[in-house]
Amino acid sequence: MTSNSTIGKSEVNIFPNPTNGKLNIEISKKSILTLYNIYGQNLSNFKIEEGNNIIDLNGLSSGLYLLKIENTLYKIMKID
């Protein structure tokens, strides 16, 4: 499953979803990514660059997480 969304002028692709640790994020412009748990607690912030970015989620337990990029939330599933 791939998340694909257009945000203003920014195209975002997030894959693979579910992921077993490495999450690829392709974006058409620089942005800030915020990672939340299902309770809305901010777990981490990442500066992402235009193009392909790899976010390492290996330190997280299996479960549902939320990514916020430019005021849009994406659901991702982390599996072991």
pLDDT at 5: 54
Among 12, 14, 17, smallest CA distance to 30 is for: 12
CA–CA distance, 11 with 36 (Å, rounded to integer)? 21
Amino acid type, 25: I
Class of domain 3-78: mainly beta
- To the nearest whole number, what is the mean pLDDT of the chain? 91
Q: Is the dihedral of CA 10, 72, 49, 61 positive or negative?
A: negative
pTM exceeds 0.75: yes
Domain borders along the chain are 3-78
pLDDT at 46: 96
Average pLDDT over residues 2-31: 84
Confidence of residue 7 (pLDDT cuts 50, 70, 90): very low
- Give the pLDDT confidence of 21-56 residue by residue, as tens digits: 999 999 999 999 999 999 999 999 999 999 999 999
